[in-house]
Amino acid sequence: MEETKKAGGKWRVRITLPVIFITLITMTTLFIIFLNYYSTKQSVYAIADDLMTKISEHALEKTLNHLGPAGKLVTLNALSSDGDIFSSDFNPRIESFTKQQLKCFPQFSMVNFGNERGDFWMTKRMPNGTVSTKIVKRLDTSPMCEDLIRKGREEMPSKTDADKDEIAKSVASCIETKWVHRNINDQIISTIGEPSGCYDPRKRPWYKGAKEKTNLFWTDVYVFSSDQKPGITAAIAIKKDDQFLGVTTIDIALEEMSMFLKKLKIGINGRAFIINSKGKTVALPNLEEVSERDPATGNIKLNTITNISDKAIVASYLGIQKKLGIIEDQPLKMTKKESFNYTHDGEGYFGLYKPFPSQYGWDWVIGIIVPENDFMASVKRNTLIGFVISFLCLMCVLILSLLISRKITKPLDQLSANAEKIRQFELDNGIEVESAFLEITKMADSFENMRTGLKSFGKFVPADLVRYLISSGQEAELGGDNQELTIYFSDIVSFTSISESMRPKDLVVHLGEYLSEMSNIINDNHGTVDKYIGDAVMAFWNAPRRVPNHAYLGCRTALQNKNRLRELRNKWEADDLPPFKARIGLNTGEVVVGNMGSEARLNYTVIGDAVNLASRLEAICKMYGVEIVISEFTYALVKDKMIARLLDCVSVKGKKQGVYIYELVAEQGDETTDYPMEFIETYESAVRLYLDKKWDDATETFKQAAEIVGGTNPSCTLFVDRCAIFKENPPPEDWDGAFVMTTK
């Protein structure tokens, strides 16, 4: 849990390293891509605006070239005309001149003359390429005729054919209208009268405008009455000696302008169009939509830009209105070019609106729209390619970073595992660390040296103590604490004589094997080997590692050591080595445990009466002829798990109060014991008789117990002799049964 808490706020190299690599490269790549995209987009926008501006200028130039000659020629016609043109039914000279104009300028549709009497003369280009002349001659200019002609002109469109014949009869004496048709060779092929003609040039906008203006007058776009096609008229007054005689005009159909706009190449899907300030169409790529039929009157009229089928153009018109802050019904008044971007049907568009030069008097605006993809498609494609390449690079970097992080984290994890083993003081089997990185290799070597050093250090200091110090991260300090421990002392019987019979080198090896075997059992049972005093071993349980059943573990260790020594003695006898036999003393009690010594050099050990008692119990084994003696304090904690024989109540040297001592026989449930239970029960009965000062009964019972185990027993013999002494010299009345030891 503690390790989890510590690791909770930490980052793992295996995850962090690829994340850092990917994040840095992703941010850098995205920054470069978006910077490149943004800068390229701005450049493309500038290029698109420049291209559209040039195209608009080209369209303006084309329009001016298309319309300009009409202004010059109509002025020439006015200068070349005189009053005779209106007094003659037919003027070959002017007709020839105007036919040449139609021939030289294909955009011209008609050349017209009209006067103040209401006479009209027109040279018109016919659909088949021939030229026809229309002549309207006023026969009577009286008010009555003027009124008849006016009514006929107003009523004629809505009348039936029979009614039209009646109107024609009523005006026949007032006005004469005829057509002179020629073939392709300019020969007259027919002269046809138009009995229902009620045409009056004086009522036409071109006539009124030219009459009011002293110089060239351009009409707005309108639908020609002769062929119901949209066009524009250049008109100028004819004067003689400052007297106004009439008006001459040149009509220009705008079909060719629409054809020009249709053929105009603007990107891939760009379109150009011309409208007037009121939003009426002048020229469109789709010629059929320039005009429309009025559903109320049936007359042909100019279409409105918002009614056409090309909704992208409609959206651009709404966009320029929004940009200029123009309300829907207000005229589109512009003085300079306006560029903008807008969106239609989810697709971005470039838009440009540019007004015609004001000196020509046309309140027209040329508009150009181009889908952004026409210019940005390659940019977006390159950006997409950049994203794909970047993604592939990121995948390569991810794989590479994972490989590198694995190369780093795997040995680091191994080092961490080794460190954890060192923290747990498991120093025997370290994980071999291999790395391609020099720093990690050096770190691994340092860990190995530390492990080796600690392993050596652990041979001098209790392993549990070192494990505790490493895991706690605390520095060893002088001091100790009171704590209940189980203390263990063991000693080899007759070691002095054995050592005198062996060479020192052989003795060291022989003793090392014994101590290793005994220490391993102690360690396996969670005990702490305090020190080796020659052939003696001092150990304890419940420090520094706490174990709740320390008394039981100490007793189990003593029994296992006794049994292991029996096995080793057979081996040693076979190897012609002196067989070791050990005495063990165990006591449980409160002691002072901690670091003893000086500030410069410490020894983790235990001190106290309980330690002294354990030492005395090891020595007392010799007196009773047993291998393991435990105190009543230890027995009280293990009596439910261990089989023990009450030996005596003794007062060891330096103590006045008696302590009951027991021989540790076996663990409960162990079928192989040194004594039968009958012997233990008989012996303990004898001890109780002894404590009750029943010397004769006790003596007899001790002898019975000895008979059970073959007739002799050191402890039984000891008590038989002691009963004989007390029988002759009884102890004092306050005797508590304790035998006072006079030696250690």
- Cα separation of 264 and 32, whole Å? 37
Q: Does pLDDT of 552 surpass 90? A: yes
Q: How confident is the model at residue 477 (pLDDT cuts 50, 70, 90)?
A: low
713-742 pLDDT, tens digit each: 999 999 999 999 999 999 888 888 888 766
Question: Average pLDDT in the 162-185 region?
Answer: 84
Render the burial of 199-232: b for 16+ CB within 10 Å, e for the rest.
bbbbebebbbbbbeeeebbbbbbbbbeebebbbb
Q: Where are the domains of the chain?
A: 458-664, 675-744
Q: What is the DSSP secondary structure assignment for residue 280, as one 8-state letter?
A: B
- Residue range 365-398, pLDDT digits in tens: 989 898 888 877 777 777 778 778 877 887 887 7
Q: Which one, of 222, 240, 219, lies nearest residue 231 by Cα?
A: 222
Is the CB of residue 398 less than 8 Å from the CB of residue 22? yes
Mean pLDDT score, 150-177 = 79
pLDDT of residue 430: 67
- Residue 196: closest CA among 161, 225, 227, 229: 161
User: What's the pLDDT at 684?
Assistant: 94
d(CA 336, CA 72): 27
Give the integer Cα–Cα distance in Å for 49 and 147. Answer: 57
- Say if domain 458-664 classifies as CATH 3.10.450.50: no
Residue 672 has pLDDT above 60, yes or no: yes
pLDDT band, residue 466 (cuts 50/70/90): low
Task: Tell me which of 153-162, 367-376, 610-619 is least confident.
Answer: 153-162
Give the count of alpha carbons within 13 A of 286, CB side only. Answer: 12
pLDDT of residue 5: 44
* The pLDDT of residue 53 is above 60: yes
pLDDT in tens, 397-421: 778 877 777 777 777 777 777 777 7
Q: Is the pLDDT of residue 474 over 70?
A: no
Average pLDDT over residues 70-84: 77
* pLDDT-based confidence at residue 2 (cuts at 50, 70, 90): very low
Confidence of residue 287 (pLDDT cuts 50, 70, 90): confident
Highest mean pLDDT among 211-215, 379-383, 430-434, 700-704: 700-704
Least confident of 204-218, 221-235, 434-448: 434-448
**Residues of the chain with pLDDT > 70: what percent?**
89
Q: Which residues pair with 648 in a beta bridge?
A: 661
User: Which residues have C-beta within 8 Å of that of residue 578, sequence separation ≥ 6?
Assistant: 498, 501, 502, 510, 572
Q: Is the pLDDT of residue 87 over 70?
A: no
* pLDDT digits 0-9 by tens, 130-151: 999 988 888 888 888 888 888 8
User: Cis omega before residue 331 (within 30°)?
Assistant: no
- pLDDT bucket at 469, cuts 50 / 70 / 90: low
703 pLDDT band, cuts 50/70/90, is very high
Phi, psi of 250 (to 5 degrees): -130, 125
Residue 571 has pLDDT above 70, yes or no: yes
